[in-house]
Structure 1
Amino acid sequence: MHKNLSFPAAGMVIDGVVRGRALTIDERTAIAAAVNVVLYRCQLERTAGKMKAAARTRQKVTALASSGEGLDLGALSDTVLQVCCALGCGAFPRATPRWWMKRRTGGTWEDLCQSDDAANDYFRDKLRMSPHVFCEIAETLSPYLQWRVTFYRVPLQPDHIVVYALYRWASGETYDSGTCSFGIRRASGITAVRDVTAALLAAYLDKISWPTGVQKAVVLRAFADKGFPNCHGCIDCTHIYVDKPANANGEDYCDRKRRFCVQAQVVVDMNLRVLDVFVGYPGSVHDMGMLHLSSLWERVESGQLFTGPHVMLPFGVRTNGYLLGDNGYPQSEWIVVPYGGLAQHPTEARFDNKQKTARGAVERAFGRLKGMWRLFLRTHKCNMDTLPQQFIAVCILHNILIDAGIPFDDNLLWEVGPDGVRCRVDLGMHAPLRPVCMESSTGDSLILRDALAERMGAQ
């Protein structure tokens, strides 16, 4: 069709015969103006600032009308064909939604679009980040959040989808009542969380990775300053409280406080960044059981994790790397735990104090992560199949905000209880009732802790 249709100066060619007459300047100007209006109407629908887009449209149409005499007729014909084909195949969105489609309410999203001086504080309160960081995340995730055809509601734009997911994680609202204060329906909210979770895992999965290069040097230096040379991080578990899972044995998900929960094992550095996360097993699983089930155990045992140069310690001990843990783990060649006990030698007491101080990074990391993303701080109804992916997604957001320098408000770790008393929130970190049996610890693992304690005493 495109090859057989043309607009020469003498008229239109049909079946090899020139018919009709040449287009006048007024007719060409009218066609070009119509094409221009269609194009800019589409742009107007895609632009959040409708007033600015409308102004640009009027300027373009006015400029086009004043310069219509210089239009090339052949180029105009090609443009008309391209626009007609694009409209025919549905490449452009409709200028207005179908009459039976419900328009979405604005609510908090309209407030987030404000451009006054309060916008930064409003974004931090609702989404835990600045407008600049949000725009970067939304732009990165947009290719993964394509519009979906719907016959009953106007499709959500990518930035709206990101906002709804972030707001749910930050506020902890569960849509149990069908709607929430954000002005989003339950179905749309669940879909937004699912889509944004998948997009974050696809676009930002490298945000959770074992440090290498310059980042590794920074991590090792921070722990060395605390008295632990060649230490790569702190390890611990936290409980994510949930409603009783359907179609599952409730006893498996009960912790020792008789609350339904899921275990999450996390490794962090001194800057509170998440280096490794493993989540999904029932709350009844012991910390040591989580470690044996995780890929972290496989990588360490196969020699893939601690591959850097070794460090010499007293007693001729060499170490390629290790983690700091609590007494929920046995002392090993790559997990260093406190001595514990009541009657301690001064060297042991000094070591335990320093080890506790350094290991406090993991508790501060859980405080920041759960304090900001409060859905994982409280008991909530969730899909057990997608919960692990959601927790990994908020760990990714946790690292993004740390890298962006977003501060944390310590007031998020305090709340007023039912009795009216202000207290710290429960981070789901349970101290072990008693140390893990040390029978499995080898002589090399025990001497590593002694060598570190001796080094601290010598300094």
Structure 2
Amino acid sequence: MGPIRGRKKKRKIDNENGVVCGSLEEGSVDWWDQFCKQITGSVSPSKGVDEFELIFKVSRKTFNYICSVVSEPMMAKTTNFAFLNGKSMSLNDQVALALRRLSSGDSLIGVANFFGTNHSTVSQVTWRFVEAIEERGLHHLQWPSTEAEITQIKSKFENIRGLPNCCGVIDTTHIMMLLSASDRTVDVWLDRKDNHSMILQVIVDPEMRFHDIVTGYPGKMDDLSVLQKSCFFDLSEKGERLNGNKLKLTEGTEIREYIVGDSGFPLLPWLITPYQGQELPEIKTEFNKRHFATRLVAQRALARLKDVWRMIHGVLWRPDKNRLPRVILACCILHNIVIDMEDGVLDELTLTPQHDSGYQTEVCDMADNKASVSRDKLALYLSGRLPV
């Protein structure tokens, strides 16, 4: 995560409604008014901040920060992008265009018409932005690096439904694609629902921030297969992750750091899944309820990701499958930036756990014996029945 909260501003902002980034010309307080004039008829500048947030899905404060992050790599190249009237695009214009493309879900032509440019410019500017946010914004998406960070995460998870020493929630979703019948790899991407899709696996903290993602694999792969191909799996199996302080439950009983996931994932010493089966004993039923309530954090995070960055929400028309993983990563970084900036736009969003409509959770039968014992002890502890 980036050092956002409490971060000193490099330049005083005299008008809180102004966008300050890039050069003085680009960052002048009237950029928004000039932008509105550029796309006359599409936006009413009189609506101010609300209209800005509606169009770009971020506040002006966050827009300003994003501009500062991508400024150097985006402006380093000499390509001169322009509107159809010949006016050159400033940094603000380019960031605005890219955010609109990623957040609206509109086609290249739709975004081009909105901005008064051509679709090839929309494509090039968006890709340049994706490269820049990946290059300079990746510090917003990383595993906690300090004990204080991970301690805070564990405390907040325990406050949800009592799960102690929990460090994250893992979940997956499908990014839908409409592929050409002439695509020689078309069958590779056909998933169990007969859709062409790419999988996204995430590990989320209590504030719905992504701390680890894996994407690029065909949607037909199950959760176990994707997990096993991840660096997170290798690091956890080697004891290089989730290897912090163990929590003493009772005398002689400890619980290590772990993440939680649904029944599509394997039960491992560092990955706790729910009990399977019908008519479970009361202790196991109660554990599953707590487990499910905790997992909702990841479901809501993925739903918000797709709802805000709608380019990956619907069905992508013949996407470049080599570039798509980096577009997904850029959307995940932007998702985290909005959280790190404590953006008020989030307050207006409805939280829903629906992110993968039509896909039922598969069941993974892989279970580690030691993990089963640890889960039983955890269930007993949460029920208050663990022997002292």
Task: Please state which band the TM-score falls in when normalised by the shorter chain.
Answer: 0.7 to 0.9
Contact kept? 1:325, 1:336, Cα under 8 Å: yes
Aligned to 1:450: 376
% identical equivalent positions: 26
Question: 2:233 — aligned with what?
Answer: 297
- Cα pair 1:336 1:449 within 8 Å, conserved: yes
Verify: 1:268 aligned to 2:210, yes or no: no
CA deviation after TM superposition for structure 1 residue 204, in Å: 1.3
User: What is the 5 A alignment of 1:352-367?
Assistant: 352-367=288-303
Give the TM-score normalised by the residue count of structure 1.
Answer: 0.70
Distance 1:178 1:216 in 2: 41
Residue 332 of structure 1 pairs with residue 268 of structure 2 = yes
Structure 1 letter corresponding to 2:340: D
Q: 1:138 maps to which residue?
A: 67
Taking a change above 3 Å as real, the CA distance of residues 284 and 356 of structure 1, as seen in their structure-2 partners, is same
Task: Specify every segment of 5 or more residues in structure 2 that has no aligned partner in the other structure, as ranges.
Answer: 1-22, 32-36
For residues 254-281 of structure 1, the C-alpha deviation after alignment (integer angstroms, 9 at most, x for no partner) is: 2222111100000001110101011000
Query: Is residue 179 of structure 2 the alignment partner of residue 244 of structure 1?
Result: yes
2:192 is the alignment partner of 1:253: no
Shift of 1:427: 3.3
Q: Distance in 1 between matches of 2:81 and 2:162?
A: 63
1:429/1:149 CA distance change after superposition, 3 Å: same
Counterpart contact for 2:109–2:118, Cα < 8 Å: no
CA distance in 1, matches of 2:201, 2:241: 17
Matched, 1:124 2:53: yes
Cα contact 1:239–1:428 (8 A) shared by 2 = no
> Is the aligned partner of 1:436 residue 2:373?
no
Quick check: 1:174 aligned with 2:107?
A: yes
Deviation, structure 1 residue 285:
0.9
Q: Bigger relative contact order, structure 1 or 2, given CA contacts below 8 A and separation 6+? A: 2
Q: What secondary structure does 2:315 align onto?
A: coil
Task: Provide the rounded CA distance (Å) in 1 between the counterparts of 2:371 and 2:157.
Answer: 19
The CA distance in 2 between the partners of 1:44 and 1:432, in whole Å, is 52
How many residue pairs align between the two structures? 349
- For the 8 Å contact 1:145–1:196, the answer to whether it is kept is yes
Partner amino acid for 2:38? G
Aligned partners of 2:62 and 2:81: how far apart in 1? 33
| Structure-2 change in CA distance of 1:151 and 1:250 (3 Å) | closer
Q: Secondary structure at the match of 1:380?
A: strand
**1:409 counterpart residue number:** 348
Distance 1:370 1:119, change over 3 A: same
CA distance in 1, matches of 2:358, 2:203: 14
Counterpart of 2:38 in 1: which secondary structure?
coil
TM-score by length of 2: 0.82
Larger C-alpha radius of gyration, 1 or 2?
A: 1
How far does residue 374 in structure 1 lie from its aligned partner after superposition?
0.9
- RMSD of aligned Cα (Å): 2.9
Q: Which amino acid aligns with 2:133?
A: L
What do the CA deviations read for 1:38-58 (whole angstroms, capped 9, x no partner)?
Answer: xxxxx997675789xxxxxxx
Deviation by residue 1:90-122 (Cα, 9 ceiling, x = unmatched): xxxxxxxxxxxxxxx92179958x4x5x32111
Specify the SS of the correspondent of 2:214.
strand
**Separation in 2 of the partners of 1:247 and 1:121?**
43
Contact 1:370/1:427 (8 A) holds in 2: no
Residues 234, 324 of structure 1: 8 Å contact kept: yes
* Aligned counterparts of 2:297 and 2:119: Cα–Cα separation in 1: 36
Q: Secondary structure of 2:175's partner?
A: strand
Can you give the 5+ residue segments of structure 1 that lack an aligned partner in the other structure?
1-42, 52-104, 414-423
Q: Which residue is equivalent to 1:392?
A: 329
Indicate the residue corresponding to 1:231 in structure 2.
Answer: 166
- Alpha-carbon separation, structure 1, partners of 2:326 and 2:350: 28
2:89 maps to 1:160: no
CA separation of 1:107/1:176 partners in 2, compared to 1, >3 Å: closer, same or farther?
A: closer
Do 1:233 and 1:270's aligned partners in 2 also have CA atoms closer than 8 Å?
A: yes
In the alignment, the residues of structure 2 paired with residue 47 and residue 362 of structure 1 have an alpha-carbon distance, to the nearest angstrom, of 36
SS at match of 1:307: coil
User: How many Å apart are 1:197 and its aligned residue?
Assistant: 0.8
CA–CA separation in structure 2 for the residues paired with 1:409 and 1:428: 23
Distance 1:155 1:176, change over 3 A: closer
Does the aligned pair in 2 maintain the 1:239–1:429 contact within 8 Å? no
Spell out, residue by residue over 1:304-339, the C-alpha distance to the aligned partner (whole angstroms, 9 max, x if none). Answer: 111311112359443331111000012111111111
Provide the C-alpha distance between the structure 1 equivalents of 2:95 and 2:122, rounded to a whole number of angstroms. 10
1:279 counterpart residue number: 215
Asked whether the equivalents of residues 101 and 111 of structure 2 are also in contact (C-alpha less than 8 Å), the reply is: no
Say if 1:179 and 1:215 are closer, same or farther in 2 by CA, change over 3 A.
Answer: same
Contact 1:372 1:412 in 2 (8 A): no
Aligned to 1:90: none
Alignment of 1:60-139 (within 5 A): 106-107=38-39, 111=43, 114=45, 116=46, 118-139=47-68
Give the C-alpha shift of residue 426 in structure 1: 5.0
2:300–2:354 contact (8 Å) kept in structure 1: no
CA contact (8 A) 2:243 2:256 kept: yes
Give the CA deviation at 1:428: 5.1
